[in-house]
Chain A
Amino acid sequence: MHIILDKKELAPNVKMFKVSAPLIAKKSKTGQFIVIRIDEKGERIPLTIVEKDDKIGSLTIIFQEVGKTTKELGKLKKGDHILDLVGPLGKPSKIRKVGTVVIIGGGIGIGEAYPEAKAHKDVGNRVINIIGARSKEFLILENKMASISDEIYITTDDGSKGHHGFVTDILEELINKKIKIDLVFAVGPTIMMKAVSEITEPHRIKTLVSLNPIMVDATGMCGGCRVNVGGENKFACVDGPIFDGHKVDFDSLIKRLNTYIAEEKISCKMH
């Protein structure tokens, strides 16, 4: 059982929890995730570790209420418990000094982009952040991202804040301006990560993406999260979730993410 120490609403249907998990907090590194199960009848869902605090033994997670489990999670209050919390899972990011790094976070993915950006800043890289959302109220962690940016760009699909358009527009602009980019890291909707990888590939800019396939156990025993990377099947939960964006078969990943759409609707209706 893991107590919820703090709860904040960051955007409509986007919530942030600070949960107690001392063992995991001690071990977790940038890029890793946890799996949670709310209660006895619950399913297991993966969530990224946004921040951790070794001293109080806590983890910060951010989630968007998109289906039954996340909606139920959103109803929990400070002081409530989460039944199961497993981690840290996945391979940590390899952070080293490379020069200029462009970090791209889309929607809820900004929550995952933040620790990555911070880690790159901490090792002395020049960090350019591009964060985007549907509209300004869905922009999360804007100040936090700004505080660790050498440059920050904001985009909204509806133009309510920053650039009217997509994160990829800014990326293309930077490339066209011939700014030297040594690494791109993108996290967000799969379609966005695909678009980013397609833009950087002809320019041979190393691009990493944090994939989000369906997971069950997340310890490497089922292969529900398998993705084709460079023609080889990899399990995102143990081999990833971070992969070379130029090698990922995004189309099959997008299709696999749709597997349970009908069931998710039924489950949501029951809720």
Chain B
Amino acid sequence: MVKVKTTKHKMPEQEPKKRIKNFNEVPYGYDKETAIEEAKRCLQCKKKPCTEGCPVEIDIPGFIACVANGEFDKAAEIIKAKNNLPAVSGRVCPYENQCEGLCTVKKISLYAEPVGIGRLERFIADYERNKGVKIPKKAKPTSKKIAVVGSGPAGLTCAGDLAKMGHSVTIFEALHAPGGVLMYGIPEFRLPKDIVNAEVNYIKKLGVEINYDVVVGKTITIDELMKEYDAIFIGTGAGLPRWLRIPGENLDGVYSANEFLTRVNMMKAYRFPKYDTPVKIGKIVATFGAGNVAMDCARTSLRLGAEKSYIIYRRSELEMPARAEEIHHAKEEGVIFKFLTTPVKFIGDDKGILREGEFRKMKLGEPDETGRRRPIPMEGSEFKMKIDTALVAIGQSPNPLIPKTVKGLKIGKHGNIETDKDGRTNIPGIFAGGDIATGAATVILAMGAGKRAAKAINKYLKLKK
């Protein structure tokens, strides 16, 4: 058996007690020496199971071999050949279910940890950004014009790839800032906005133009875009919040996760009154849900001064969909988890301000269609708890604006745009990918969808000629 260190090299982090007082990034990232040492843990398997686990198919052993040799520029080139936003994916990917989940090193022993692929990707992306990003050679201009709707991870990736293929690409973004969920959803302490801006700048340097404040479906329609562009990619995400549908949900103090996070992240309400957008947070905050968005809400609440921040989840710890790292960080920071609990109603005072929640205990039954055990309410188990703020993070649905305004576009039963695996919709020339097609998923899956769609669009444009 090959001798290899069985655990990942640690990434230094801000102390939990300190970090809940600021919005600075939690992990500091590897230094050069640690990165090289971690890269040396890679066995350089010929079969590359890690690459198979990567939705954008980065040549992982290839770039890691370069890191081990200290050839960081070359490592960056290998990553960038497949991934336009490595500083993002190196921070927010659920590696444990993807590349790192399939790493051979994990098989050495029961306790062996995979190579820290995400950490190494992040190290290289940060190295390259600090040094000044190199713009790769682009293909000869094709004179084909493509409109990309939405500047989230799917749209940015698709746009970047199409630009590299020589096409002229314009992104239309409804908000005043780029990045979609990278900007409004994921908090600074997990993904600094300077880094998002730097990644977006790279896409712009590839020649992609971004038009802000354009709500496609309102300011301009898909039909109008079709007249001007040779193809369209729709990457408008899953931005429609789901609600608990319980009494008291309109009380003052109840936010959708989207509203809460948009105020804090995109509008920088955590810097109010220096920035104009306010956000109101009480002493006791309850976040409903247990995905990454819920963890972000609960951890953000602490940073805004909440004394107690609860995660309230109707299933058990085992079924939580959030990344292991986020759950770990939330626990370290003092987020309190209440499992097998569901809200029944929110109770307010005469001014309509949230004061209390009524909850019910749950038990787990048989697995449902998602494979997770179904929560069953326990009659008579109701109890009340004082809460000042409720953050509803139980998921998002595809944004309905475009599906509603394009005639003849085939829509799935969840309001998603139906596509094949390469992002083709039923209308020739219109492609879609990311959460608008799949429903709320991960950043890296959206990037993968953007990539496949770019290839399909390229093929379509060649045939069209």
Contact = CB atoms under 8 A, between A and B. Distances in A.
A124 interface: no
Contacts, number: 118
A171 B249 CA distance: 34
B128 to A, nearest CB: 27
A224 B268 CA distance: 16
Interface string B239-279: 11101000001111001101100110001100011111110
A226 interface: yes
B464 interface: no
Interface in B275-318: 275-278, 280
B272 A233 contact: no
Most B CB within 10 A of own CB, among A83, A227, A228, A238: A238
Interface string A175-190: 0000000000000000
Contacts of B342: none
A128 interface: no
B382 interface: no
A223 B268 CA distance: 18
Contacts of A85: 213
A222 B258 contact: yes
Interface in A63-86: 68-69, 83-86
A252 B351 contact: no
B277 A221 contact: no
Interface in B179-219: 212-215, 218-219
Interface in A218-238: 219-224, 226-228, 233, 238
A44 B351 CA distance: 26
A23 to B, nearest CB: 5
A230 to B, nearest CB: 14
How many of chain B's residues touch chain A, expressed as a range? 35 or more
Contacts of B241: 221-223
A203 interface: no
A256 B353 CA distance: 9
A160 interface: no
A58 to B, nearest CB: 15
A44 B250 contact: no
B252 A255 contact: yes
A252 B253 CA distance: 12
A267 interface: yes
Most B CB within 10 A of own CB, among A24, A87, A255, A258: A255
A228 B239 contact: no
Interface string B133-166: 0000000000000000000000000000000000
A86 B215 contact: yes
B401 interface: yes
Contacts of B274: 41
Nearest to B255: A224
A270 B258 contact: no
Contact of B219 (A44, A88, A251, A255): A88
A25 B194 CA distance: 34
Given A223-B243, A226-B250, A252 B352 contact: yes
A137 to B, nearest CB: 29
Contacts of B258: 221-223
Contacts of A173: none
Nearest to A84: B176
Interface string B61-105: 000000000000000000000000000000000000000000000
Contact of B276 (A27, A69, A220): A69
Contacts of B240: 220-221
B399 interface: yes
Given A27-B218, A87-B215, A89-B215, A216 B176 contact: no
Contacts of A249: 250
B378 interface: no
B227 to A, nearest CB: 14
Most A CB within 10 A of own CB, among B220, B256, B267, B276: B276
B400 interface: yes
A28 to B, nearest CB: 9
B175 interface: yes
Most B CB within 10 A of own CB, among A68, A224, A228, A266: A224
A216 B243 contact: no
The 3 closest A-B CB pairs, nearest first, are: A255-B352, A263-B278, A222-B259
11 contacts: A27-B219, A37-B176, A43-B278, A44-B176, A68-B276, A86-B213, A86-B215, A217-B175, A255-B352, A259-B280, A263-B278
Given A217-B262, A221-B240, A264-B278, 19 more contacts: A41-B275, A68-B276, A83-B176, A86-B174, A87-B218, A87-B219, A89-B215, A89-B218, A216-B262, A216-B263, A216-B267, A219-B175, A221-B239, A222-B241, A223-B241, A224-B256, A255-B352, A258-B252, A260-B280
